[in-house]
C-alpha cells in the first residue's frame, strides 16, 4: 500500500503544467522547406521555430489546397501522456479568423510502455515500430486543417497563436487516447500480472489475476488514469509571417 501511495504522490506533483507570459519572437531554422507538390507550395520560405519556457514548437509548412489551409507543426511530448493542441487561433490579414481546426497525425515518437518507445507514421499508422528504451526524446508532427479559407494574396500577414495543450481524452476516443499500456505496466510493478481493459469510456482491472476487487490496485489505477487525463500546458506561442510562395 505504501508503494501505491508513493506512485499517487509522484504523479500528483506533476498533474498540471502551466506556463504563462509571452513567447519569444519566431526565429528561422537553417533547414529550407522543400515543397512536395509544386501546385501547392508552402507559404513559408523556411521553417519557423519558437520557444517559450523551454518548450519549442516548429512550424514546418503552411499549404493551401482549395478552401483548406493545412498547417504542419512539430512539438515535443513532455511525458508519456497523449498531448494535443487544445487552443489555437489563425488570423489572416486581420480580416479572417479561424479556430478549432481538424487534426491529422503525420508522425509521432511516443512512450508506449515503461521501457518501450514506438514510432507511428500516417502512411502505416497501424504498423508502429517499437524499440526497448527507457529514455528518448518523444515528439509529434501534426497537420492542422482549417476549412473555409479564401484565396489569400501574396504578402498577406498571417498570425498563428497557440495557447494550450491538453491530455484530456476526447469523449469519442476515450480508450484510444488513454496510454493504457503505460498505466498497466506501472501498476503491475506492485501487482504482478495485472491487466487492464477499457470499454465504454471506463478502465477496469481484468479478472485474470484476481485483482479486480483489490482496493489498493483499484486506487493505483484510478490515480494514474486521473493523472493521464489531467495534463495542461498553457502559454503564448505566436508565429507571425507573410505569405511568400514565389
pLDDT of residue 246: 66
The full set of domain ranges for the chain reads 18-164
Q: Over the stretch 27-66, which tens digit does the pLDDT of each residue have? A: 333 333 333 444 578 999 899 999 998 899 999 999 999 9
What pLDDT does residue 12 have? Answer: 42
Residue 242: name the closest of 56, 45, 22 by CA. Answer: 45
Residues 6+ apart with CB under 8 A from 124: none
Mean of the pLDDT values across residues 64-75? Answer: 95
Higher-scoring residue by pLDDT: 107, 36: 107
Burial of 202 (0-12, 13-18, 19+ CB in 10 A): exposed
β-sheet bridge partners, residue 189: none
| Contacts for 183 with CB less than 8 Å, ≥ 6 apart | 196, 203, 221, 224, 225, 228
Which pLDDT tens digit goes with each residue over 133-183?
988 999 999 999 999 999 999 999 999 999 999 999 988 889 999 999 999
Write the CB contacts of 123 (distance below 8 Å, at least 6 apart in sequence).
Answer: none
pLDDT of residue 26 exceeding 80 = no
Question: What Å distances lie between residue 236 and 20, 53, 173, 229, CA to CA?
Answer: 7, 10, 27, 22
- For 151, how many CA atoms within 13 A lie in the half-sphere containing its CB? 2
> At a CB cut-off of 8 Å and minimum separation 6, what does 236 contact?
21, 22, 23, 52, 161, 163
Element (H, E) at 7: helix 2-13
| Mean pLDDT across 106-120 | 94
Amino acid at each position: 500500500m505504501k508503494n501505491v501511495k508513493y506512485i499517487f504522490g509522484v504523479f500528483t506533483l506533476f498533474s498540471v503544467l502551466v506556463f504563462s507570459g509571452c513567447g519569444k519572437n519566431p526565429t528561422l531554422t537553417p533547414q529550407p522547406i522543400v515543397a512536395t507538390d509544386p501546385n501547392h507550395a508552402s507559404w513559408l520560405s523556411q521553417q519557423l521555430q519558437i520557444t517559450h519556457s523551454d518548450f519549442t514548437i516548429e512550424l514546418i509548412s503552411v499549404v493551401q489546397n482549395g478552401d483548406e489551409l493545412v498547417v504542419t507543426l512539430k512539438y515535443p511530448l513532455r511525458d508519456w501522456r497523449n498531448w494535443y493542441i487544445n487552443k489555437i487561433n489563425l488570423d489572416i490579414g486581420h480580416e479572417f479568423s479561424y479556430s478549432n481546426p481538424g487534426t491529422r497525425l503525420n508522425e509521432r515518437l511516443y512512450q508506449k510502455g515503461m521501457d518501450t518507445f514506438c514510432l507511428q507514421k500516417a502512411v502505416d499508422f497501424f504498423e508502429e515500430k517499437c524499440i526497448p528504451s527507457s529514455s528518448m526524446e518523444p515528439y509529434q508532427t501534426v497537420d492542422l486543417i482549417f476549412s473555409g479559407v479564401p484565396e489569400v494574396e501574396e504578402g498577406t500577414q498571417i498570425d498563428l497563436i497557440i495557447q494550450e495543450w491538453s491530455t484530456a481524452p476526447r469523449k469519442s476516443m476515450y480508450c484510444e487516447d488513454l496510454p493504457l499500456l503505460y498505466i498497466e505496466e506501472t501498476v503491475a510493478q506492485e501487482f504482478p500480472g495485472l491487466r487492464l481493459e477499457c470499454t465504454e469510456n471506463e478502465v477496469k482491472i481484468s479478472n485474470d489475476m484476481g485483482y479486480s476487487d483489490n482496493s489498493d490496485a483499484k486506487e493505483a489505477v484510478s490515480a494514474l488514469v486521473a493523472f493521464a487525463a489531467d495534463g495542461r500546458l498553457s502559454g503564448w506561442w505566436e508565429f507571425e509571417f507573410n505569405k511568400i510562395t514565389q
